[in-house]
Amino acid sequence: MGYTRKLRERQERTGRPVRVGLVGAGQMGSGFVAQLARQTGVTVSVVADVAIDRAETALTNAGIQDVTVGGEVSALTEIIEAGGHAAVGDIDALTALPVDIVVECSGVPEVATRVALSALTAGKDVALMTVEADVTVGLALAKLAQAEGRIYTVCRGDEPVECLKLIEFAEDLGLEVVMAGKGKNNPLRQGDTPDDLVDEAAAKGMNPKMLCSFVDGTKTMIEMAALANAADLELTQRSMIGPEATVETLAEVFSPQEAGGLLDRTGVVDYCTGDVAPGVFVIVKSDNEVVREELRYLKLGEGPYFALYRPYHLASIEAPLSIAEAVIDGDASLQPVAWRAEVTAIAKRTLNAGERIDGIGGFTVYGDAVSADEAAATGELPIGLAGDAVLVRDVAEGVPVRYEDVELDAAQVIVRLRRLQDAMVDGELDLDAVRELVER
């Protein structure tokens, strides 16, 4: 940590701050710009949004007044290199400009995938806030980044990343990681639709579709799948267990069955309901009695299983940490190191041939976490590919949607990249095919 000092020293050494390009100037993106504008050694040099006036507003609301709106890349390059700022309406225009890292805040998996590909092939590091893209094509993006000598990462501040940091902390202390997870603060109602949540969403100041992705469980499944892939851990089971627990009972609930808990094995991820949200946790143990006695003395419980608990995650407020980790340390905050888990689409109601799936948080499907091997064996459709897919046969309520049940939109970059990811042999990505995909 200590990135404020490191960023300041970098600026003194190079004569300029870290230049950030941001894609997506909605609520989260605007919050990110406002947060970053108050930090040392880093600046948002350019913002891209399909509504270019919204990109400009995100900058001016953060106190940045020297904003050039649109223009040729060559002219905007001169402006940014002189310390100015720009608003553009195109992803490729942004990634052609002299920024050090591109941060994506669109919330749309297809857009996030396009941003990542454009940034990496343009020689830029990239950090995504849309974890839905990571659980769909993150392995391919990580392989591409490695080949390009760049960093691909999911941003700090979301539960999977902060839980991964707790795992790394435990491992650095020499503790055995038994399991890891998060608290879920919404009831699980998998059949809910945005129409069911209009009043609740208004009371919380949220978009009903976004709230629906929380309530129907899709978001939790996505977050825990991302954690499993980044930490090389397994799901406890399909859909996970999701028991009720409190901060005080975490270590008891998530201990192995022989110790009175729920786990039939260790090295897994899961979630719980109760007062744990919005925190994340890791259950650890030590084989050394001296260490166990020290943990008991430090009020972590009686053992032999102990809970390390972080009671918060700070969303876009923490996201700038990923910029420093990438640019200063050359590290990814979170990226897949294995492909352990998928989140596949399950029918919320009987779906009929000819219908179009409306994607995450919608009326037609919810996401379910399943082992990657099981999903591949049965041909289940990743929910990150489901948006705009057209059904070619009926699917009963509660049944997984499979590739054979739909016609995918072949024009979507995320669909084509996922096909390349699935075709990887011995962990090798067809880089020429990826670059052709970007050039189309």
pLDDT in tens, 67-81: 999 999 999 999 999
Q: What is the pTM of this model?
A: 0.96
Domain(s) labelled CATH 3.90.1210.10 in the chain stretch across 341-413
Distances (CA, A) of 165 to 105, 308, 411: 21, 11, 37
- Beta partners for residue 71, in sequence order: none
Confidence at residue 37, expressed as pLDDT on a 0 to 100 scale: 87
- Beta partners for residue 365, in sequence order: 347
Contacts of 391 (CB under 8 A, 6+ apart): 351, 352, 353, 354, 355, 356, 357, 401, 405, 406
The gap between the terminal CA atoms of the chain, to the nearest Å, is: 40
pLDDT in tens, 103-114: 999 999 999 999
pLDDT in tens, 124-136: 999 999 999 999 9
Fold category of 3-157+317-327 in CATH? Rossmann fold (3.40.50)
Q: Which of 26-35, 216-225, 404-413 has the lowest mean pLDDT?
A: 26-35
Confidence at residue 28, expressed as pLDDT on a 0 to 100 scale: 86
Task: Return the ∠ at Cα 77 (arms to 71 and 83), rounded to 5°.
Answer: 110
pLDDT in tens, 396-433: 999 999 999 999 999 999 999 999 999 997 889 999 99
The per-residue DSSP string of 319-388 comes to THHHHHHHHTT---SS--SS--EEEEEEESS-B-TT-B---TTSSSEEEEEEEHHHHHHHTBPBHHHHTT
CATH architecture of 341-413: Alpha-Beta Complex (3.90)
Domain(s) labelled CATH 3.40.50.720 in the chain stretch across 3-157+317-327
209 dihedral zone (left: phi>0; alpha: psi -120 to 50; beta) = alpha
pLDDT in tens, 147-194: 999 999 999 999 999 999 999 999 999 999 999 999 998 789 999 999
Confidence at residue 81, expressed as pLDDT on a 0 to 100 scale: 96
